[in-house]
Amino acid sequence: MELKDKVAVVTGAARGIGAAIALAFARRGARLALLDLPSTTTDESVARCQSSGAVTRTYDCDVSDEAQVVRACERIAADFGRLDLLVNNAGILRDGLLVKVEHGKVVRTLPLEQWRAVLDVNLTGTFLCGREAAAHMIRFGHGGVIINISSVSRRGNFGQTNYSAAKAGVAAMAVVWAKELARYRIRAASIAPGVVRTDMMAALKPEALAKLVAAAAAQRLAEPEEIAQAAVFIAENDFFTGRCLELDGGMRV
Protein backbone atom coordinates (compact mmCIF):
# COMPACT_ATOMS: atom_id res chain seq x y z
CA MET A 1 0.00 0.00 0.00
CA GLU A 2 1.24 3.42 -0.93
CA LEU A 3 0.88 5.47 2.28
CA LYS A 4 0.46 8.87 0.68
CA ASP A 5 -3.00 10.35 1.48
CA LYS A 6 -4.15 7.12 3.16
CA VAL A 7 -5.97 7.34 6.51
CA ALA A 8 -4.16 5.57 9.32
CA VAL A 9 -5.64 4.92 12.75
CA VAL A 10 -3.14 4.33 15.55
CA THR A 11 -4.33 3.39 19.04
CA GLY A 12 -2.30 4.37 22.11
CA ALA A 13 -0.71 7.04 19.94
CA ALA A 14 0.12 9.60 22.63
CA ARG A 15 3.59 8.27 23.32
CA GLY A 16 6.06 5.41 22.90
CA ILE A 17 5.70 2.98 20.01
CA GLY A 18 2.30 4.36 18.94
CA ALA A 19 3.62 7.91 18.64
CA ALA A 20 6.64 6.69 16.64
CA ILE A 21 4.42 4.72 14.24
CA ALA A 22 2.11 7.71 13.76
CA LEU A 23 5.08 9.95 12.95
CA ALA A 24 6.58 7.43 10.52
CA PHE A 25 3.26 7.18 8.66
CA ALA A 26 2.89 10.99 8.71
CA ARG A 27 6.34 11.35 7.11
CA ARG A 28 5.16 9.16 4.24
CA GLY A 29 2.18 11.41 3.61
CA ALA A 30 -0.56 9.49 5.43
CA ARG A 31 -3.36 11.28 7.27
CA LEU A 32 -3.58 10.35 10.93
CA ALA A 33 -6.34 9.50 13.40
CA LEU A 34 -4.71 9.21 16.81
CA LEU A 35 -6.60 7.38 19.55
CA ASP A 36 -5.76 7.40 23.22
CA LEU A 37 -7.43 7.47 26.63
CA PRO A 38 -9.42 10.63 27.43
CA SER A 39 -7.09 11.19 30.40
CA THR A 40 -3.97 11.20 28.20
CA THR A 41 -2.73 14.18 26.24
CA THR A 42 -1.81 13.54 22.64
CA ASP A 43 -0.62 17.14 22.05
CA GLU A 44 3.05 16.32 21.55
CA SER A 45 2.35 13.43 19.20
CA VAL A 46 -0.12 15.54 17.19
CA ALA A 47 2.37 18.43 16.93
CA ARG A 48 5.10 16.11 15.60
CA CYS A 49 2.79 14.60 12.96
CA GLN A 50 1.48 18.01 11.93
CA SER A 51 4.99 19.41 11.66
CA SER A 52 5.66 16.86 8.95
CA GLY A 53 2.62 18.16 7.10
CA ALA A 54 0.13 15.42 7.98
CA VAL A 55 -3.55 16.14 8.57
CA THR A 56 -3.92 14.81 12.11
CA ARG A 57 -7.01 14.42 14.29
CA THR A 58 -7.33 12.97 17.76
CA TYR A 59 -10.06 10.86 19.28
CA ASP A 60 -10.55 10.16 22.99
CA CYS A 61 -11.16 6.45 23.19
CA ASP A 62 -10.66 3.68 25.71
CA VAL A 63 -10.13 0.75 23.35
CA SER A 64 -11.61 -1.69 25.88
CA ASP A 65 -14.98 0.11 25.75
CA GLU A 66 -17.16 -1.12 22.89
CA ALA A 67 -19.34 1.99 22.62
CA GLN A 68 -16.30 4.30 22.58
CA VAL A 69 -14.58 2.25 19.88
CA VAL A 70 -17.70 2.14 17.69
CA ARG A 71 -18.19 5.91 18.07
CA ALA A 72 -14.54 6.76 17.41
CA CYS A 73 -14.40 4.64 14.25
CA GLU A 74 -17.67 6.15 12.97
CA ARG A 75 -16.30 9.65 13.53
CA ILE A 76 -13.02 8.80 11.81
CA ALA A 77 -14.89 7.40 8.81
CA ALA A 78 -17.07 10.53 8.64
CA ASP A 79 -14.21 13.01 9.22
CA PHE A 80 -11.83 11.52 6.64
CA GLY A 81 -14.19 9.75 4.22
CA ARG A 82 -12.02 6.63 4.23
CA LEU A 83 -10.08 4.32 6.56
CA ASP A 84 -7.09 2.42 5.19
CA LEU A 85 -4.85 1.36 8.04
CA LEU A 86 -5.22 0.37 11.68
CA VAL A 87 -2.41 -0.20 14.14
CA ASN A 88 -3.65 -1.91 17.29
CA ASN A 89 -0.94 -0.60 19.59
CA ALA A 90 -2.65 0.42 22.87
CA GLY A 91 -1.51 -1.89 25.63
CA ILE A 92 -0.76 -2.15 29.33
CA LEU A 93 1.26 -4.35 31.67
CA ARG A 94 0.08 -5.65 35.07
CA ASP A 95 2.66 -8.33 35.82
CA GLY A 96 2.39 -10.84 38.63
CA LEU A 97 3.15 -14.48 39.39
CA LEU A 98 0.32 -16.96 38.96
CA VAL A 99 1.03 -18.14 42.51
CA LYS A 100 3.42 -16.30 44.82
CA VAL A 101 5.09 -18.38 47.49
CA GLU A 102 7.18 -17.09 50.38
CA HIS A 103 8.94 -19.36 52.89
CA GLY A 104 7.02 -22.34 51.53
CA LYS A 105 3.62 -20.65 51.92
CA VAL A 106 1.29 -19.38 49.22
CA VAL A 107 0.97 -15.66 49.93
CA ARG A 108 -0.81 -14.43 46.82
CA THR A 109 -2.42 -15.59 43.61
CA LEU A 110 -2.88 -13.50 40.46
CA PRO A 111 -6.10 -11.54 41.05
CA LEU A 112 -8.86 -11.89 38.48
CA GLU A 113 -9.05 -8.10 38.07
CA GLN A 114 -5.33 -8.02 37.16
CA TRP A 115 -5.95 -10.70 34.53
CA ARG A 116 -9.03 -8.90 33.22
CA ALA A 117 -7.40 -5.44 33.08
CA VAL A 118 -4.72 -6.68 30.68
CA LEU A 119 -7.03 -8.87 28.60
CA ASP A 120 -9.60 -6.05 28.34
CA VAL A 121 -7.15 -3.53 26.85
CA ASN A 122 -4.63 -5.71 25.00
CA LEU A 123 -6.90 -8.44 23.63
CA THR A 124 -10.50 -7.16 23.68
CA GLY A 125 -9.34 -3.67 22.64
CA THR A 126 -7.56 -5.14 19.63
CA PHE A 127 -10.62 -7.24 18.76
CA LEU A 128 -13.00 -4.25 18.99
CA CYS A 129 -10.82 -1.86 16.97
CA GLY A 130 -10.02 -4.57 14.42
CA ARG A 131 -13.69 -5.44 14.00
CA GLU A 132 -14.88 -1.85 13.60
CA ALA A 133 -12.02 -0.78 11.34
CA ALA A 134 -12.45 -3.85 9.11
CA ALA A 135 -16.18 -3.15 8.73
CA HIS A 136 -15.45 0.43 7.61
CA MET A 137 -12.66 -0.73 5.26
CA ILE A 138 -15.08 -3.18 3.63
CA ARG A 139 -17.77 -0.48 3.30
CA PHE A 140 -15.33 1.94 1.67
CA GLY A 141 -14.07 -0.80 -0.65
CA HIS A 142 -10.44 0.38 -0.89
CA GLY A 143 -8.89 -2.62 0.91
CA GLY A 144 -6.68 -1.97 3.92
CA VAL A 145 -4.07 -3.15 6.40
CA ILE A 146 -4.38 -4.08 10.08
CA ILE A 147 -1.27 -4.41 12.24
CA ASN A 148 -1.50 -5.82 15.78
CA ILE A 149 1.34 -5.09 18.18
CA SER A 150 2.14 -8.40 19.85
CA SER A 151 5.30 -9.09 21.88
CA VAL A 152 8.14 -11.55 22.32
CA SER A 153 6.14 -12.47 25.46
CA ARG A 154 3.52 -14.20 23.31
CA ARG A 155 5.64 -17.35 23.69
CA GLY A 156 5.16 -17.22 27.47
CA ASN A 157 7.15 -14.96 29.74
CA PHE A 158 7.81 -15.37 33.47
CA GLY A 159 5.37 -13.26 35.52
CA GLN A 160 3.17 -12.45 32.54
CA THR A 161 0.28 -14.93 32.47
CA ASN A 162 -2.13 -12.16 31.46
CA TYR A 163 0.15 -10.27 29.06
CA SER A 164 1.49 -13.41 27.35
CA ALA A 165 -2.05 -14.73 26.82
CA ALA A 166 -3.16 -11.41 25.32
CA LYS A 167 -0.12 -11.05 23.07
CA ALA A 168 -0.45 -14.63 21.79
CA GLY A 169 -4.10 -13.79 21.11
CA VAL A 170 -3.44 -10.66 19.07
CA ALA A 171 -0.88 -12.51 16.91
CA ALA A 172 -3.42 -15.31 16.32
CA MET A 173 -6.19 -12.84 15.49
CA ALA A 174 -3.99 -11.28 12.80
CA VAL A 175 -3.71 -14.71 11.15
CA VAL A 176 -7.49 -15.21 11.30
CA TRP A 177 -8.15 -11.75 9.88
CA ALA A 178 -5.60 -12.23 7.08
CA LYS A 179 -7.57 -15.32 6.01
CA GLU A 180 -11.06 -13.89 6.48
CA LEU A 181 -10.46 -10.44 5.04
CA ALA A 182 -8.21 -11.21 2.05
CA ARG A 183 -11.27 -11.31 -0.22
CA TYR A 184 -11.79 -7.61 0.60
CA ARG A 185 -8.12 -6.82 -0.13
CA ILE A 186 -7.44 -6.31 3.56
CA ARG A 187 -4.15 -7.64 4.93
CA ALA A 188 -3.47 -8.32 8.61
CA ALA A 189 -0.20 -9.01 10.41
CA SER A 190 1.49 -8.54 13.75
CA ILE A 191 4.80 -7.30 15.10
CA ALA A 192 6.44 -8.94 18.12
CA PRO A 193 8.91 -6.47 19.60
CA GLY A 194 11.45 -7.43 22.24
CA VAL A 195 12.23 -4.72 24.77
CA VAL A 196 11.69 -1.18 23.53
CA ARG A 197 12.78 2.08 25.16
CA THR A 198 9.39 3.52 26.26
CA ASP A 199 7.59 4.56 29.45
CA MET A 200 6.24 1.00 29.73
CA MET A 201 9.77 -0.33 30.18
CA ALA A 202 10.84 2.60 32.34
CA ALA A 203 8.48 1.17 34.98
CA LEU A 204 10.59 -2.03 35.24
CA LYS A 205 13.17 -2.48 37.99
CA PRO A 206 16.70 -1.75 36.60
CA GLU A 207 17.89 -5.30 37.38
CA ALA A 208 14.91 -6.81 35.52
CA LEU A 209 15.60 -4.55 32.55
CA ALA A 210 19.32 -5.45 32.57
CA LYS A 211 18.39 -9.15 32.45
CA LEU A 212 16.14 -8.60 29.45
CA VAL A 213 18.80 -6.62 27.61
CA ALA A 214 21.37 -9.34 28.32
CA ALA A 215 19.02 -11.93 26.80
CA ALA A 216 19.04 -10.17 23.42
CA ALA A 217 21.82 -10.84 20.91
CA ALA A 218 21.73 -7.11 20.12
CA GLN A 219 22.53 -6.38 23.82
CA ARG A 220 20.40 -3.26 23.86
CA LEU A 221 16.84 -2.00 23.90
CA ALA A 222 15.06 -1.27 20.63
CA GLU A 223 14.14 2.32 19.85
CA PRO A 224 10.43 2.99 19.14
CA GLU A 225 11.46 4.24 15.67
CA GLU A 226 12.80 0.76 14.85
CA ILE A 227 9.37 -0.74 15.55
CA ALA A 228 7.78 2.04 13.49
CA GLN A 229 10.05 1.11 10.57
CA ALA A 230 8.60 -2.43 10.74
CA ALA A 231 5.05 -1.05 10.71
CA VAL A 232 5.87 0.95 7.58
CA PHE A 233 7.34 -2.16 5.96
CA ILE A 234 4.18 -4.18 6.65
CA ALA A 235 1.93 -1.34 5.50
CA GLU A 236 3.84 -0.92 2.24
CA ASN A 237 4.60 -4.55 1.33
CA ASP A 238 1.49 -6.00 -0.31
CA PHE A 239 2.73 -9.59 0.05
CA PHE A 240 3.13 -9.42 3.84
CA THR A 241 0.03 -10.85 5.52
CA GLY A 242 -0.93 -13.47 8.11
CA ARG A 243 2.53 -13.40 9.69
CA CYS A 244 4.19 -12.10 12.80
CA LEU A 245 7.31 -10.02 12.26
CA GLU A 246 9.72 -10.72 15.13
CA LEU A 247 11.74 -7.65 16.05
CA ASP A 248 13.42 -8.60 19.29
CA GLY A 249 17.14 -8.10 18.70
CA GLY A 250 17.65 -11.86 18.69
CA MET A 251 16.06 -12.33 22.10
CA ARG A 252 14.06 -15.47 21.39
CA VAL A 253 16.03 -18.72 21.17
Footprint on this chain of ligand NAD (rule: CB under 6 A): 11-12, 14-18, 35-37, 40, 61-64, 89-92, 121, 125, 149, 151, 193, 195-196, 198-201
Nearer to ligand NAD, 200 or 218 (CB): 200
Check if 163 is active-site.
Answer: yes
Nearer to ligand NAD, 106 or 253 (CB): 253
What are the strands of the beta sheet with 31-36, ordered from one edge?
Answer: 56-60, 31-36, 7-11, 85-88, 144-149, 186-193, 244-247
Please state the closest distance from residue 163 (CB atom) to ligand NAD, in A.
7
Nearer to ligand NAD, 9 or 54 (CB): 9
Residue from 59, 80, 163, 177 carrying the catalytic annotation: 163
Please state the closest distance from residue 166 (CB atom) to ligand NAD, in A.
8
Please state the closest distance from residue 107 (CB atom) to ligand NAD, in A.
28
Q: Which amino acid is at 227?
A: I
Nearer to ligand NAD, 54 or 230 (CB): 230
Please state the closest distance from residue 53 (CB atom) to ligand NAD, in A.
23
Point out the residues that are catalytic: 163
